[in-house]
C-alpha cells in the first residue's frame, strides 16, 4: 500500500507528526536561509508596512471630514514605529550586504585597493556580491521546490493530481523557463536594489551632498570629494572626453557596470535597479486590484448568469472604450498636488488607475473558464446540497480560474511596465527623483548616436527583455495548465481541472 493511501482522510498536521523527519529537514533549511538575510528581510518588511500605513493614513486624511488630531498623532506614531522596525532590521546581521562585501574604496600607490572586499578591485567586489545575491535567490526558489517535492513524496494524500501534469509540462517548456529566469533576475534587481547597486540611490541622487568619495589623485595622495561633485564630473554627455561607458571606471575609481547618466551623472545601474523596484510596485499593485475585481465579477457572472453577466459586460465595455493614455493624463492633472500624486512621486496613483482600467480585459479572460466550471457536476452537487453561493464560488470555482489569472496577469504587468515607461518618456509619468526606466530612455535619446549611447540603449533593451520574458512566462503557464497543448484532447472539465491543480 502506497504512502498516500495510508494518509487518506488524515489531516496534514497528523501526517507530518507520523513522519516528521522530511518536513523538519526542509524547515531547518528554510530557517537557515531566512537567517542569512534576517536584517534585509526585517528592513524590507518594515519599509513595506510603513508604505502601507502611509497609504491608509493618507486615505483617511483625504476624506472630506478628515481625521481627528488624536488620529493624526496615532497615525504618526504608527509610521514612526514602523520606521523604527526598518532601522532595527538594518542593524541586524545580514550576510549578503554592502557592509559585508563592500565595493567602494580607493586605489593605493602599490596598485591594490583599500576599503573593498579582500582588497579586490571594485568591479570584482561588486560582481561577487551580485553573484552571491542571485545564487541565494535561485537556491531559495529551489528549496521551495524541494519543499513541494517533499510534500508530494511524503505527505500528499492523492497518488496523482492534475497539478502533476502541469508541473511536468512546465519542466519541459524552454520558452517559459527562459521567461521565468529573466523575471527572477528582474525581481531580484528590484527587491535587492540597495545591495546589487554599486552605490545606494540616496548617496547617488537623493543626498549626494552628504556623502564623500575617496580617490587616489595623480600625485599619489588620497583625496575626498563630494558625491555630487564627483557625479557632475563623471557625467556622460556624448563626447568621448566626457563619457563613462558600460563596464568602466570614472576618474574617482568608481566602477559603473552600465556607465553613467548625463544629468547629474549618477550611476545608470543604480538608477535601473531602483527603477525596477518602482515598476514592480506599480505592476503588482495594479495586477492585484485588477485580479481581485476580475475574479469577483468572473465568479459572480458565471454563478448567477443572466442579468448580472449583462450588467458587467456593459460596464466593462464602457471602461474599455475609454482611451487609457488620455485618462491617465487627465488623472495626473486633476490629482496634481493630492497626496496620492505625491506618494512614490505618482507611483501609487498610476497603480490605482491601471488597476481600475485593466480589470475588464482580465475579467474577459477568466469569464469563459468560470462559465465552464460553473456547468460542472460538482458545482451542481454543491448547490443541490444547499451549500451557500459564496462558499461554492470560493471552494469549487475559484481554484480553477486562478491559473488563468496568473497567465493574463503576467501579460498585464508587461503592458503596465511599457505604459508607465511611455508616460515617463513623455514627461507625465513618475516624477523625479523617483527613478523610472522610461525617463532614462528620454534622458538619453539625444545621445543615441554619440559615445553616450548607453544611456537610452540599455534601459530600452531591458524594457523589451522584461516584457518579452513576462509574455514568455505567461505562455509557459498557459501551455502548462492546458492539457490540449500536449495531448490534443478537448474537454472543458479537463482544462478546468488542470487550471486548478486539484
The residue ranges of every structural domain in the chain are 201-266, 269-500
Contact 163, 483 (CB under 8 A): no
Residue 494: its pLDDT value, please? 40
Which positions of the chain have pLDDT values less than 50? Answer: 1-5, 63-71, 486-502
Determine whether 433 is exposed, middle or buried from the number of CB atoms within 10 Å of its CB (0-12, 13-18, 19+).
exposed
* Residue 60: per-residue pLDDT: 65
For 473-500, write each residue's pLDDT tens digit.
Answer: 988 988 888 766 544 343 333 433 333 3
pLDDT of 496 = 37
**Amino acid 498: pLDDT:** 37
Q: What architecture is the 269-500 domain classified under in CATH?
A: Orthogonal Bundle (1.10)
The reported pLDDT for the residue numbered 129 is 96
pLDDT in tens, 401-435: 888 888 888 888 888 888 888 888 888 878 888 89
> Residue 94: its pLDDT value, please?
86
Q: How far apart are CA 426 and CA 448, in angstroms?
A: 17
Nine-digit cell string for 191? 527587491
- Give the HSE-up count for residue 72: Cα atoms under 13 Å, Cβ half-sphere: 6
Residue among 185, 262, 64 nearest 469 (CA)? 185
Chain centroid offset of residue 93 CA:
25
Give the model's pLDDT for residue 397: 86
Contact in structure between 327 and 353 (CB atoms under 8 Å):
yes
pLDDT at 103: 94
Asked if 340 and 61 count as a contact pair (C-beta separation under 8 A), the reply is no
For residue range 347-382, list pLDDT tens digits in order: 888 899 999 999 998 999 888 888 888 888 888 787
pTM for this predicted structure: 0.86
Amino acid at each position: 500500500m502506497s504512502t498516500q493511501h495510508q494518509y487518506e482522510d488524515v489531516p496534514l498536521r497528523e501526517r507530518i507528526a507520523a513522519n516528521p523527519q522530511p518536513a523538519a529537514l526542509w524547515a531547518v533549511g528554510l530557517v537557515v536561509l531566512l537567517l542569512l538575510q534576517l536584517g534585509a528581510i526585517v528592513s524590507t518588511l518594515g519599509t513595506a508596512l510603513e508604505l502601507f500605513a502611509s497609504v491608509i493614513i493618507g486615505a483617511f486624511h483625504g476624506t472630506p471630514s478628515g481625521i481627528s488630531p488624536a488620529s493624526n498623532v496615532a497615525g504618526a506614531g504608527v509610521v514612526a514605529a514602523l520606521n523604527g522596525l526598518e532601522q532595527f532590521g538594518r542593524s541586524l546581521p545580514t550576510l549578503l550586504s554592502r557592509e559585508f562585501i563592500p565595493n567602494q574604496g580607493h586605489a593605493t600607490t602599490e596598485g591594490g585597493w583599500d576599503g573593498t572586499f579582500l582588497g579586490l578591485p571594485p568591479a570584482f567586489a561588486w560582481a561577487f556580491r551580485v553573484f552571491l545575491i542571485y545564487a541565494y535567490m535561485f537556491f531559495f526558489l529551489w528549496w521551495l521546490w524541494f519543499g513541494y517535492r517533499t510534500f508530494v513524496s511524503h505527505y500528499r494524500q492523492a497518488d496523482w493530481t492534475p497539478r502533476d501534469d502541469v508541473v511536468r509540462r512546465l519542466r519541459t517548456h524552454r520558452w517559459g523557463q527562459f521567461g521565468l529566469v529573466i523575471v527572477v533576475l528582474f525581481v531580484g534587481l528590484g527587491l535587492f536594489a540597495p545591495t546589487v547597486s554599486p552605490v545606494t540611490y540616496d548617496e547617488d541622487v537623493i543626498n549626494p551632498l552628504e556623502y564623500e568619495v575617496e580617490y587616489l589623485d595623480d600625485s599619489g595622495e588620497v583625496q575626498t570629494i563630494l558625491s555630487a561633485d564627483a557625479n557632475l564630473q563623471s557625467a556622460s554627455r556624448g563626447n568621448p572626453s566626457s563619457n563613462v561607458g558600460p563596464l568602466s571606471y570614472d576618474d574617482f575609481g568608481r566602477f559603473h557596470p552600465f556607465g553613467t547618466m548625463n544629468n547629474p551623472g549618477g550611476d545608470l545601474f543604480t538608477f535601473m535597479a531602483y527603477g525596477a523596484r518602482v515598476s514592480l510596485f506599480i505592476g503588482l499593485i495594479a495586477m492585484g486590484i485588477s485580479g481581485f475585481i476580475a475574479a469577483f465579477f468572473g465568479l459572480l457572472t458565471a454563478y448567477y448568469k443572466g442579468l448580472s453577466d449583462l450588467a458587467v459586460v456593459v460596464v466593462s465595455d464602457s471602461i474599455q472604450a475609454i482611451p487609457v493614455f488620455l485618462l491617465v493624463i487627465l488623472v495626473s492633472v486633476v490629482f496634481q498636488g493630492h497626496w496620492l500624486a505625491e506618494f512614490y512621486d505618482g507611483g501609487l496613483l498610476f497603480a490605482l488607475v491601471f488597476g481600475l482600467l485593466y480589470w475588464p480585459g482580465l475579467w474577459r479572460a477568466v469569464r469563459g473558464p468560470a462559465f465552464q466550471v460553473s456547468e460542472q457536476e460538482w458545482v451542481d452537487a454543491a448547490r443541490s446540497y444547499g451549500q451557500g453561493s459564496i462558499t461554492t464560488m470560493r471552494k469549487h470555482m475559484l481554484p480553477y480560474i486562478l491559473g488563468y489569472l496568473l497567465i493574463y496577469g503576467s501579460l498585464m504587468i508587461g503592458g503596465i511596465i511599457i505604459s508607465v515607461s511611455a508616460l515617463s518618456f513623455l514627461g507625465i509619468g513618475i516624477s523625479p527623483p523617483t527613478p523610472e526606466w522610461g525617463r532614462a530612455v528620454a534622458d538619453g535619446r539625444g545621445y543615441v548616436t554619440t559615445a553616450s549611447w548607453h544611456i537610452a540603449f540599455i534601459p530600452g533593451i531591458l524594457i523589451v527583455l522584461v516584457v518579452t520574458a513576462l509574455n514568455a512566462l505567461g505562455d509557459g503557464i498557459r501551455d502548462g495548465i492546458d492539457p490540449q497543448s500536449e495531448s490534443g484532447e478537448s474537454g472543458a472539465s479537463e482544462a478546468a481541472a488542470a487550471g486548478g491543480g486539484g
